[in-house]
Structure 1
Amino acid sequence: MNNFPKLHNAAWPGVVGKGGEGDDPIIELDQLLDMTASAEVNGRRFDGVDLFLFDPHVSIDATDAELEDLAERVRSRNLDIGTVVAPVWEPTGGGPAMGGPEEVEAFLTQVRKACQIGQKLRQIGVRPHGVIRLDSASSVSEWVKDPEGNQSKIADTFKAACDIAEEYDERLAAEGEICWGGMQSWRKMVDLLERVGHPERLGFQADMAHTLLYLMGYNAPEDAIVASDFDWSDTAAKEAALKELTHALRPWTIDFHVAQNDASVHGTGSHDKTGRHCLPDDPNGKLDIAKDAGFWLRDEHGDVLKTIKHICWDGCMFPNEVMTKPDTWNKILASMLEVQAAHGWQE
């Protein structure tokens, strides 16, 4: 029975996209922790959670005492903390990575605060592995006004973020999501990572739901790998496309989200449209989750990489009605266990 990679649930779906479609309120962190800890499949449970450093879950300005309290709340449920998300966007105190000096400084300030929190949680002993997640906090519509200039600005900002991460011995993972300028396609994501050129500090976060949209070139048709009328029932063609995508991005991948997608986009609240997250048993899902995760978690020869110590389920923008059902989390945990069994290892 494999015990790695560890299985984590994401807490940010309790915040992201809330207050929009359906007017769903935020789900409190303790409720999410309880639901995560209560999920069980054949005696197996989640090992931890990944967190959003944003009120009301975890303040980016949390004191040491508040972080100690957070650690105790997590540990009391037999969970660990893994990856944490830096709130780098303008509405949360940050600014676009391709913005002016003040906006870039705001972006980097949020990165620094997130690294400080990540380091503190490691020192407390509740965060054995994980990265700091970020993105460009820039819109695609603004980025396309000056692709070369804006890509260069984002790269410079990310280089400065790498310097900050090095101070705290943290690693940063750039989120592969079509709604972020300079990161809206797989080619542009690889280009950005290469421009920054610090793989020891900046890598890629792959989410199976978001990267499926990379295949389609939704916000960058020039980088599409499959046609807009692609036949998703053609398993061989889908796998060939996934091989091309993962060949380019796998060497950079340091954080991984298990997810399902129906090849459509979705957005609620203030969140722009991005790859729709679906339940693992969604009849419209285009991914064979356990099998397709292997394109990311195994190398070109089919060997398990063992480079990612935990994987996380991301179900952003699920309605609260779905998120508060215990069966939802049991289904998700079962899917995660299948990935661990297929591509994991023992330590």
Structure 2
Amino acid sequence: MKENNYPKLHNATWPGIVGKGADSEPVIAFDTLLEMTAAAEVDGVKFDGIDIGLFDPHFPVDSSADGIKKLADKVASFNLEIGSLVAPIWPPSGGSAMGSKEERAQFVTQVRKSCQIAQQLRELGIRPNGVIRIDSASTPESWTKDPATNTKLIAQTFREAGDVAADYGEKLAAEGEICWGGMHSWKAMIETLEAVNRPNIGFQADMAHTLLYLLGYNSPADRILPADFNWNDRDALAAGLRTLTQALRPWTTDFHVAQNDGTVHGTGSHDKTGRHCLATDPNGKLDIATDAGYWLRDDKGALTKAFRHICWDGCMFPNEVMTQPKTWNDILASMVQVRQLHGWYE
């Protein structure tokens, strides 16, 4: 029997930027992240690719065609492919998806630029699959001032962005994270996606972030697990994950493997959101390989094969941790376990 080779296993580059900077730790260079990703190996298995954030200082969204070609050549030189991209839709270059007409236009413009890069990377043969990630670029606090109107505005902006993406043959995925207004709870996320109603706009699930959906952070009325939940009750946690994934899985077009200890965390200028933990963190509440199956299999346990690649997301780890080879080998080992349990061979 041949080893599963799908979904492909990707690392992410944006954890070298998110939560870093002047008010935190130095940004980790793009090339350093490439080198560490390519160097990781577990029993002969290596990462297949990387997912990339299209923002300074790693790779600016205004890069030229020549710059895009150089990016493709650089990634290929490490024997890696490129998967999903993150559009830099936040102010000041972008704008709130529920903001003024001008802000929403800026949002759509940044999506268009991201789609142009995505298309060129496909044409260069370095990006065989993947989506473009977006969010509302708005806080839950500002959204709650007028939920109905703000959801309508977000949906309108997303539709316009989706129509642009369709022109380039691209799909968009809205990030399920508690720090984004209109997608800060699982019910709000579904309401937003239903209002968008575009076939090329779906949901990006991150195991660390979606765990916080169960607890109702920023939306207590939408919590699935009780306030006094005992994390040792695996049956109750499994039931909660089934409820969550049954609701969101049909929308899910991009998937991040991750660990969470049941708390929120923010570093630097990044708002508090689900804390990413190391794959081997003893305080992690998820059985990574088992719980990934709630997203990768349908309600009857059959593989959905909805994702050609899956990605590890570990934002806001200290630089000291992120520059240790063991960190990436442990992460890769968890990814391999996910593929062994829920993957397939082609």
Pick the TM interval, shorter chain.
Answer: over 0.9
Q: CA deviation at 1:55?
A: 1.0
Structure 2 equivalent of residue 85 of structure 1: 86
* Distance of 1:25 and 1:178 partners within structure 2: 25
Name the structure 2 match of 1:5.
7
The 1-side partners of 2:205 and 2:149 are apart by 25
Alpha-carbon distance, 1:168 to partner: 0.3
How do 1:171-250 residues align onto structure 2 when only pairs under 5 Å count? 171-198=171-198, 200-250=199-249
Alignment match, 1:292? 291
TM-score, L = length of structure 1: 0.98
Amino acid in structure 2 at the alignment position of 1:239: A
Give, in whole Å, the separation in 1 of the partners of 2:235 and 2:124.
47
Offset, 1:20: 6.1
- The SS at the match of 2:338 is helix
One-letter code aligned to 2:195: R
Letter of the structure 1 residue corresponding to residue 18 of structure 2: V
SS at match of 1:268: coil
- 1:159 corresponds to: 159
Paired amino acid for 1:47: D
Superposed displacement of residue 229, structure 1:
2.1
Letter of the structure 2 residue corresponding to residue 122 of structure 1: R
Question: What residue in structure 1 maps to residue 76 of structure 2?
Answer: 75
Question: What is the CA–CA distance in structure 1 between the aligned matches of 2:225 and 2:52, rounded to whole Å?
Answer: 33
Query: Once the 2 structures are TM-superposed, how far is the Cα of residue 299 of structure 1 from its aligned partner?
Result: 0.4
In structure 2, how many angstroms separate the alpha carbons of the residues matched to 1:227 and 1:28? 42
Deviation digits for residues 51-73 of structure 1 (CA, Å, limit 9, x no counterpart): 00001111100101001000011
Partner in structure 1 of residue 94 of structure 2: 94
Contact 1:20 1:268 in 2 (8 A): no
Counterpart of 2:54 in structure 1 is: 53
What is the rounded CA distance, in whole Å, between the counterparts of 1:44 and 1:276 in structure 2?
A: 27
* Secondary structure of the structure 2 residue equivalent to 1:36: helix
Per-residue deviation at 1:315? 0.4
Listed as ranges, the matches of 1:316-331 within 5 Å are: 316-331=315-330
Task: Tell whether 2:125 aligns with 1:128.
Answer: no
CA distance in 2, matches of 1:165, 1:184: 24
2:28 maps to 1:31:
no
Map Cα deviations across residues 76-98 of structure 1 (whole Å, 9 max, x no partner). 0000000000010013x101000
Corresponding residue of 1:345: 344
Percent identical among aligned pairs is 63
The structural deviation recorded for 1:218 is 0.4
Q: Provide the TM-score with structure 2 as the length reference.
A: 0.99
User: Runs of 5+ in structure 2 lacking a partner?
Assistant: none
Distance 2:252 2:232 in 1: 27
Cα distance, 1:24 vs. partner? 1.1
SS at match of 2:256: strand
Instruction: Kindly provide the CA deviation profile for residues 105-145 of structure 1, in whole angstroms up to 9, marking residues without a partner as x.
Output: 11000000001110010001100000000000011111000
1:27-65 CA distance string (max 9 Å, x none): 110100000000000010000000000011111001010
- Structure 1, unpaired ranges of 5+: none
SS at match of 2:253: strand
Question: Is the Cα contact below 8 Å between 1:20 and 1:270 reproduced in 2?
Answer: no
What's the CA shift for 1:269?
Answer: 1.1
Mapped partners of 2:101, 2:32: distance in 1: 39
Give, in angstroms, the shift of residue 208 of structure 1. Answer: 0.1
- AA aligned opposite 1:30: D
SS at 1:205 equivalent: strand
Q: 2:50 corresponds to which letter in structure 1?
A: V
Query: Per-residue deviation at 1:228?
Result: 2.4
Q: Distance in 1 between matches of 2:182 and 2:341?
A: 33
Distance of 2:181 and 2:295 partners within structure 1? 23
Name 1:307's counterpart in structure 2: 306
Shift of 1:227: 1.7
Q: Distance in 1 between matches of 2:166 and 2:128?
A: 17
CA distance in 2, matches of 1:307, 1:263: 27
1:20/1:296 CA distance change after superposition, 3 Å: farther
Deviation, 1:150, is 0.3
Structure 2 residue identity aligned to 1:53? L
Count, aligned residues = 344
The letter of the residue matching 2:187 is: R
Q: How many Å apart are 1:323 and its aligned residue? A: 0.1
Aligned to 1:42: 43
RMSD between superposed Cα atoms in Å: 0.7
- Matched-pair contact (CA < 8 Å) for 1:87–1:110: yes
- The 1-side partners of 2:25 and 2:324 are apart by 15
Matching of residue 168 in structure 1 with residue 168 in structure 2: yes
